[in-house]
Each structure stands twice: as C-alpha cells, then as structure tokens.
Amino acid sequence: MIANLLKETSNRAYTNLLFSSIRNRILVNNISTTSKWSLTNKQVSPITSQLNIFTTTTTNTTTTHNKKSYSTVNSNNKNPISDVYLFHEIVDKEFELFIDKLEILNEANTCEGFEIEGNDGVLTVIVGKKGTYVINKQTPNRQIWWSSPLSGPKRFDYDSVKKSWVDNRDGTPLRQLFNSEILTLCKYDMKIE
C-alpha cells in the first residue's frame, strides 16, 4: 500500500513537472512571438504584461499570480547612468560637496547636537533633537535615497542634462531641498549651488 502511494505521489509530481515544463515552453514561445510582433510594430506592452502574470496549476485548482516588482525604475529619468563607476563618481562628488558644506555648519556651531557621519555610501546627518537625515546610494537603481525629518523619504534620479539630482516624483533638485531644510532647522544657509 505504501509503495502504491509513493508511486502515485511520484507520478503526480512527474505529471505536474511535465505540465509545468510544457507551460513554460508555451510561455517562452508566446513571448518570443509577441517580441517579434512588438519589435516589428514598435510596441512593447504585450511583452511586459505576459512577463508579469504567471499561472500555477495543482490538482483541480488553477491560480493566477501577478508578479510585482518592489524596486523602482528610473521612469522619469530620460538619461539614467548606466555605467556603475560613473554613478559612484557622480554620487561621491555630491556627498563630498554636502560634507564640506555641513562641516562648515558644524564649525559655525549654529545647530545644537549636530553630527555628520559618512560611511559606505551612506551620509547620516544628525540635527540634534530635530531629527536625522539619512542619504544613501542605491546602486542597483542608480538613485540617491533620502530620509528627512521634515520631508520624509524621497528618491532622486540624476538628470544628465541639468547635471543634478532631482526628486523622481516632483522634480525638486536635491541640493535645493537640502539647503532649504538645513536653513529651516539650523538657520544656516549652506549656499549649495
């Protein structure tokens, strides 16, 4: 009896594997056909819709899943930085500028409890009891991520035409926002241009 049960389970697993393999071949064939059609007609949306939906079938049950991405894409950025070394160079220069300006603020002693920490692509600026800024590189997305006690979380894309980092939602330049918030919290104009 146990041998029959194992054989039946093994057959069911093999059948599911076989159907899964066939389903994957059909999906790849559909994507390939759709890709050729899309390239010919300069349309891409059918490809992405097929890639974002997949189906699993078990005994007497079919379930459709939507594949979701939890990472952002530089959709507003027409010229994303594709070279990782160039990305690091541009971000490092921006962080160096911030650190230079923030050290001048720190020496001026106009903001109580002010501290600056830079480490492994993360810039942390503690503004005493008023809060903490965390500004960091997001290499996979080629973005700068920002967390502020005033404006909250934001993501910045590099605009290669303007040569500046801009908020990927409202287009606010990072330098302008940072200068404005430090002016509000510390009554100090960093004069970041």
Are 136 and 164 in a shared domain? yes
* Residue 192 included in any domain: no
Rounded distance between C-alpha atoms, residue 64 and residue 42, angstroms: 28
Cβ atoms of 105 and 114 closer than 8 Å: yes
**Where does the pLDDT of residue 53 fall: very low under 50, low under 70, confident under 90, or very high at 90 and above?**
very low
State the pLDDT at residue 179.
Answer: 96
State the pLDDT at residue 109.
Answer: 85
Are 13 and 60 in a shared domain? yes
pTM over 0.75: no
Name the 3-class secondary structure at 158.
strand
Number of domains in the chain: 2
Percent of the chain with pLDDT over 70: 59
For residue 147, give the CATH number of its domain. 3.30.920.10
Are 175 and 104 in a shared domain? yes
Name 126's bridge partners: 115, 132
Percent of the chain with pLDDT over 90: 51
* Residue 158 included in any domain: yes
Q: In the Cβ-directed half-sphere of 60, how many Cα atoms lie within 13 Å?
A: 0
Are 179 and 114 in a shared domain? yes
State the pLDDT at residue 39.
Answer: 43
State the pLDDT at residue 82.
Answer: 84
Tens digit of pLDDT for each residue in 90-141? 999 999 999 999 999 999 888 889 999 999 899 999 999 999 999 999 999 9
> What range does the domain containing 21 cover?
2-66
State the pLDDT at residue 11.
Answer: 55
Rounded distance between C-alpha atoms, residue 86 and residue 191, angstroms: 26
Are 38 and 89 in a shared domain? no
- Mean of all residue pLDDT scores within the chain: 75
* Residue 49 included in any domain: yes
* Residue 178 included in any domain: yes
Final residue of a structural domain among 66, 95, 113: 66
* Residue 79 included in any domain: no
Provide mean pLDDT across the span 37-60.
44
* Residue 78 included in any domain: no
State the pLDDT at residue 64.
Answer: 54
pLDDT beyond 80 at 186: yes
Are 7 and 33 in a shared domain? yes
Mean pLDDT lowest among 31-35, 61-65, 142-146, 153-157 = 31-35
Are 48 and 142 in a shared domain? no
Are 94 and 180 in a shared domain? yes
Which residues, 6 or more positions from 25, have their beta carbon under 8 angstroms from its beta carbon? none
* Residue 73 Cα to chain centre, angstroms: 6
Rounded distance between C-alpha atoms, residue 147 and residue 155, angstroms: 9
